[in-house]
Amino acid sequence: MVYDLLKNEFITDKYDKIIEIIDELKDYTIYHFKAEEEYMQSIGYKKFLSQKVAHNDFLEKMGSIDIDKIDNGHNEYLIGILDFVCEWLIEHILKDDKLIVAK
């Protein structure tokens, strides 16, 4: 969805779509982290607290997005969101979440 919006040259004002994407991402991560944390607790995962801190850091970063900056450059803002989310997902899933499965 983000990539499609980024590449769409026919939408000149992407502000509302960007806000929609950010809101959907926040809602999904809250849901996902809650389910993951409940699972970790149910199996007695020893690194639960470090996972919880990482989740909270992500949510804090998402909550600190300065939407006033969106109007200054839609595409640059979208690229920034993509970079942040992709980097976080790669680091977190491939390193931290993988350890849950190995338990």
C-beta separation of 5 from 14 below 8 A: yes
C-beta separation of 49 from 41 below 8 A: no
Q: What is the pLDDT of residues 15-60, one digit of tens each?
A: 778 788 888 888 999 999 999 999 999 999 999 999 999 999 999 9
Q: What is the pLDDT of residues 60-94, one digit of tens each?
A: 988 888 777 776 676 777 788 778 888 888 888 88
**Rounded to the nearest 5°, which phi and psi values hold at 70?**
-60, -40
State the pTM of this model: 0.76
- CB count in 10 Å sphere of residue 36: 17
- What the chain holds in terms of domains, given with CATH numbers, is 2-102 (1.20.120.50)
The DSSP secondary-structure symbol of 76 reads H
